[in-house]
Chains A and B, each alone.
Chain A
């Protein structure tokens, strides 16, 4: 594991032993060097209330939220479609919401995935305890199965929901339908 990733770990406990202190020092030094400033994308944790706010705030007209996890084969298969969308459509805000923390409290897998696949879209990790409570808040039509995608026109409030793997061209159609 690279020290940089450890540094980015948002909720890690501070190391206390001397051995760990050395590591911490190294991490701090690395973080202070200019090369580290170009560290790419990372993923922040988000609670359900903030996610709901994020989904409804009108800062961007069309928002696309894809719910995925590193263990989900079809999610990984469709991810390039979201990457293509966020690169090609600056008018659409794409967010990939990882549900990995539901099964594994350690976000390392998500960080590694983002790094390995060079994910450029915005990634969030939903950090919540009671799926039965939060799934409905994201979309009433969602059973909780992954992958799932919500397309929102924040100006009109129109929302489309898909609970299956998307194919090439589907997102463009859904965006046209929501506009």
Chain B
């Protein structure tokens, strides 16, 4: 009986404790195929000339996604033609966050003139595989032969509130280092953000 009780307590505890899953810096990424706002399926393998990617878990609704929206568009304008395109992925369950529907993604991508794919992660399997927890959450990937290696995980920069007051441009610094064949100095950062709206289990 005691054992049963203990088991019950353990089960209850593990149900609430987040499991540390997802990629770490240095891990190789498994490719995915997700629907883009133009209706076509997109995989990382569709970019044979890319040197890497700036994968950003993002959404339509989070205030942090909104303040970073212009900065995300700038990242693609700056780095896509240098071989590091932005791939934005919305993992939010639209039944929990209505503004994150696919139709709304299409509308926003059109209105803002997105120059990069904005993919819907309907099953949330890509967000889970990466270990994304919030929006926006960035994973810079570096191509090494046939492998795509995680080179940076975290925030875009160190100041959400004011783009003008940013002192550390984490993603830009990481991509520039990779472009120059140098090691990335800051490989992991944290920032306040909106928790991903996971489907109810």
Which residues of A line the B interface, CB within 8 A? 69, 71-74, 99, 102-105, 129-132, 135-136, 141-148, 160-166, 170, 173-174, 176-177
**Assembled-state Cα–Cα distance A131/B97 (Å):** 25
B63 & A103 in contact (Cβ 8 Å cutoff) = yes
Q: Which 6 A-B pairs have the closest CB atoms?
A: A145-B134, A145-B195, A143-B133, A135-B190, A132-B189, A144-B190
**Assembled-state Cα–Cα distance A148/B17 (Å):** 11
The secondary structure that dominates the B interface is loop
B155 & A132 in contact (Cβ 8 Å cutoff) = yes
A71 & B97 in contact (Cβ 8 Å cutoff) = no
A177 & B13 in contact (Cβ 8 Å cutoff) = yes
B67 & A163 in contact (Cβ 8 Å cutoff) = no
Is the C-beta of B12 less than 8 angstroms from some C-beta in chain A?
Answer: yes
Is the C-beta of B111 less than 8 angstroms from some C-beta in chain A?
Answer: no
**Assembled-state Cα–Cα distance A148/B189 (Å):** 18
Is the C-beta of B161 less than 8 angstroms from some C-beta in chain A?
Answer: yes
Kindly list chain B residues whose C-beta atoms are within 8 Å of the C-beta of A104.
161
Kindly list chain A residues whose C-beta atoms are within 8 Å of the C-beta of B64.
103
**Assembled-state Cα–Cα distance A60/B168 (Å):** 39
- A71 nearest CB neighbor, chain B only: B63
**Assembled-state Cα–Cα distance A99/B64 (Å):** 12
Which among B97, B133, B158, B192 is the interface contact of A163 at CB below 8 angstroms?
B133
Kindly list chain A residues whose C-beta atoms are within 8 Å of the C-beta of B134.
143-146
Kindly list chain A residues whose C-beta atoms are within 8 Å of the C-beta of B197.
74
A165 to chain B, nearest CB (A): 8
Told that A74-B195, A103-B67, A131-B192 touch, could you supply 6 new A-B pairs with CB distance under 8 A?
A105-B161, A142-B190, A143-B137, A144-B193, A146-B193, A164-B195
